[in-house]
Amino acid sequence: MSKAKRTPATREVLTSAERRTLAALAEGFVPGGGAARARAAERAFSTVVDPELVRQLRLVLRLIETRAGSLLIGGRAARFSSLRGDARDAYLQHWVQHRIPLLRSAASALRKLLCFLAYADADEPDDQRTRARLTSIGYNPKPNAATRDRSPLVAFDPQQARRIAVDVLVIGSGAGGGAVARDLARAGKRVMVIEAGALYDERSFPTRERDAYERLYLDSGFTATDDAHIAILAGGTVGGGTTVNWMTSIPVPDRVRAEWEERHGVTGIASPRFKQDLNEVLREVGAQPAESTPPKDAALLRGAAGRGWSGEPIRINRAECGDCGTCPFGCKRGSKQSTLRLHLPEALAAGAHLIPDCKAERLIIEHGAVHGAVTTYGTRAGSPRTLEIVAPQVVVSGGALRTPLLLRRSGLTHPAIGQNLRLHPVTLAAGIFPEKIEMWRGTMQAAKSEEFIEPMEDRNGYIIESAPGHPGLLALGIPWTGRDEHQRLMRCAPHIAPFLAIVKDDGGGRISETRSGFAKIEYRTTPRDERTLRAALGSLVRMAESAGASEIIAAGSPPIAWRRRDGVEAFQVLQRRLTRFDFSPNRGTVFSAHQMGTARMGGDPVDHACDPYGRVRSSSRPRSTDPNGGIIKGLYVADGSLFPTAIGVNPMITILALAKRVARTVLADAN
């Protein structure tokens, strides 16, 4: 299959003066190639960033070129572009730690983007500056070539059809959509799967970091909460998150299933039948401990053992893994048992069809029943047109960030749609070790510790995992306290082993659609979540120390660091400081790769947008005359949106198991 066409920059969104200022900012954060990074950032602004946010950023770019604006933002009454060296450093340090959250948010968004672009390699002729920078830090990956034989997926071509009829329409091709499509097609249903993202065969997956984010991730990897506090990674291609994840295969803990059944009325979720579904999924995807233990994972296990904590290998869904370290770029070897490799081929073999580059605009809902969807097909090819897909049953599997938006666009008004967002906030600490780590090589995630997974009176539970990464993601995540210090840390990249903690959050947020049609993600941690994040960060630091790190950095603004030569007393001071670590927006560094709960299932028609089996509710208070009891006939959800709460572990296995449950429901309702 040929490489999908890149989405071009269709318009200029910055003036020449604003572009020069953005280039100066790029040079301020990371010297070298600022103009090229400004152009790359503008491309993102024109295609994947909400125009309202772009207007705000343009205002900031203009303000820092005025004396009054600069005094407010950077503490200096001078145009930013006129500053040089230490004066520019001081300006940016003042800005990234600004007391006004809105200004701190703007600094965070620009800093993350421009630092990422400085180190994320792309297959572009003018990216030689980035390659030289990567060579200087010892980054020279050699990903495996495609070696496994398999016929590529063949997309269905609707040609000039305006209307297609099937038995079941599945919207989304990730863990939920791919798995439910497979089970329904095997049962003899005429299934059509549509996916807004592009279709790539293993042989055409990108090999460079920036290309991977642009092609395979939602919003080219630039998704974030509305305050820029939490960077969010989600799949945006055929296979969804299963195509780009790190293969970590952990089923939902039994205590969480019990909570779902007892507190949320999810009938049968704690039963042996669903446990059987989980075990069957683990067998299907070939979940086994990693065949090797890369240095970053060995450091985690060594650190856990040194503290007397639990530590064990992680099961991953792979077959004959080549340990190339490019899981976030897809899997050119074809080892990853994603829906692209496993479920979708089986679905198509059973008669299903797949249409990539096909976005569901709205569901067709009349008289309390779904009748299909109106879609836009062929946008990436440059010839978008409307395609109506008629189906008496529709399964929405767009993920927790897109499913609720489609339901809302379709006129559904249940108050729980788009609410109860959980993000599994992730904090991290970086240990710099004497030996080479090269976090980008080998199995992406091979070790974990569940020492703190159980909740306590004053905090929630969290799981500790190794944290792989490539230079662009590392440059975005490490603290910025000046260009020289940031460059020093990046030169240490081959020796860095980051450890992360995934927090089972009980706070939450909501997702809505802006006037421009972009997702607005509002999310705030609760005091309990922040206590959990501080406890987790303290655990990560202690683990890194026990593993033998010569230097430890707790990522935040400002960061908290320790060097081994500082001694035991300094380490005790570090631990005490971590108990007061500031996780307010754009202070403590937080990421998310797991999104859940925005159409949650449960027994209460008021609090749960879906019933316990994934059927979508039309109303929280159905009329007595409603023949379907408040359920939209034929409409289902099968993705992480269904989770009543966060689960505290990687969600893929649980979503796959829920897809089995939803598929059985679809079949039962059709009979």
Q: Reduced to 3 DSSP states, what percent helix, strand and coil does the chain have, rounded to the nearest 5?
A: 35, 20, 45
Residues 6+ apart with CB under 8 A from 320: 148, 333, 335
Are residues 597 and 645 in contact, defined by beta-carbon separation less than 8 angstroms? yes
Residue 162 pLDDT greater than 80, yes or no: yes
- pLDDT tens-digit readout, 349-366: 999 999 999 999 999 999
Go through the chain and tell me how many residues it has.
Answer: 671
Report which secondary-structure segment, H or E, holds 556.
none
Q: How confident is the model at residue 671 (pLDDT cuts 50, 70, 90)?
A: confident
Residue 7 pLDDT greater than 50, yes or no: no
- pTM for the full model? 0.95
Mean pLDDT across the chain, nearest whole number?
92
Are residues 237 and 204 in contact, defined by beta-carbon separation less than 8 angstroms? no
Residues 6+ apart with CB under 8 A from 355: 155, 156, 158, 192, 193, 194, 195, 377, 387
Q: How confident is the model at residue 146 (pLDDT cuts 50, 70, 90)?
A: low
Report the share of the chain in percent with pLDDT over 70: 96
Token pair 């200087």 is found at: 136
Report the share of the chain in percent with pLDDT over 90: 81
Residues 6+ apart with CB under 8 A from 379: 357, 359
| Residue 572 confidence (pLDDT) | 94
Are residues 287 and 653 in contact, defined by beta-carbon separation less than 8 angstroms? yes
Report which secondary-structure segment, H or E, holds 225.
none
d(CA 107, CA 102): 9
- pLDDT tens-digit readout, 513-563: 998 889 999 999 999 999 999 999 999 999 999 999 999 998 877 788 999
Are residues 356 and 130 in contact, defined by beta-carbon separation less than 8 angstroms? no
- pLDDT tens-digit readout, 631-663: 999 999 999 999 999 999 999 999 999 999 999
Are residues 315 and 449 in contact, defined by beta-carbon separation less than 8 angstroms? no
